[in-house]
Amino acid sequence: MLTLEATKPPQSDQTLGRVLVVEDEELIRDTIMLALSEEGYDVQVAEDGRMALDILTQPDDSDGSSTPGIDLIILDLMLPYVNGLDLCRLVRHQGDSVPILMLSAKGSETDRVVGLEVGADDYLTKPFGMKELIARCRALLRRHRHSQPPSFESTLRFNDITLYQQECRVMVRGDEINLSPKEFRILELFMSHPRRVWSREQLIERIWGPDFMGDSKTVDVHIRWLREKLEKDPSRPEYLTTVRGFGYRFG
Ligand code: CA
Report pLDDT digits (tens) over 171-204.
999 899 999 989 999 999 999 888 889 999 989 9
pLDDT at 3 (0 to 100): 45
Report pLDDT digits (tens) over 201-235.
989 988 888 788 888 899 999 999 999 999 999 99
Q: Can you say how many angstroms the Cα of residue 203 is from the centroid of all Cα atoms in its chain?
A: 16
Q: Which amino acid is residue 7, in one-letter code?
A: T
Who surrounds ion ligand 1 at CB < 5 A?
A: 24, 76, 78
Average pLDDT of the chain is: 85
- End-to-end distance of the chain based on CA atoms, in angstroms? 45
CB atoms within 10 A of CB 6: 7
The closest alpha carbon to 59, from 186, 209, 198, belongs to 198
pLDDT at 15 (0 to 100): 65
Q: Which amino acid is residue 156, in one-letter code?
A: L
Confirm whether pTM is higher than 0.85: no
| Ligand 1 centroid – CA 125 distance (Å) | 12
Q: What is the mean pLDDT of residues 93-110?
A: 83
The CATH number fitting domain 15-146, selected from 3.30.365.10, 3.40.50.2300, 3.30.465.10, 3.40.50.300? 3.40.50.2300
pLDDT category, 23, cuts 50, 70, 90?
very high
| Whole-angstrom distance, CA of residue 104 vs CA of residue 130 | 15
Q: Which helix (H) or strand (E) holds 161?
A: strand 161-164
**CA trace torsion 92, 192, 211, 204 (10° rounding):** -60
Domain ranges across the chain: 15-146, 155-250
| Ligand 1 centroid – CA 66 distance (Å) | 25
- The CATH number that domain 155-250 falls under is 1.10.10.10
Considering only residues 168 and 106, tell me which one the structure prediction assigns the higher pLDDT: 168
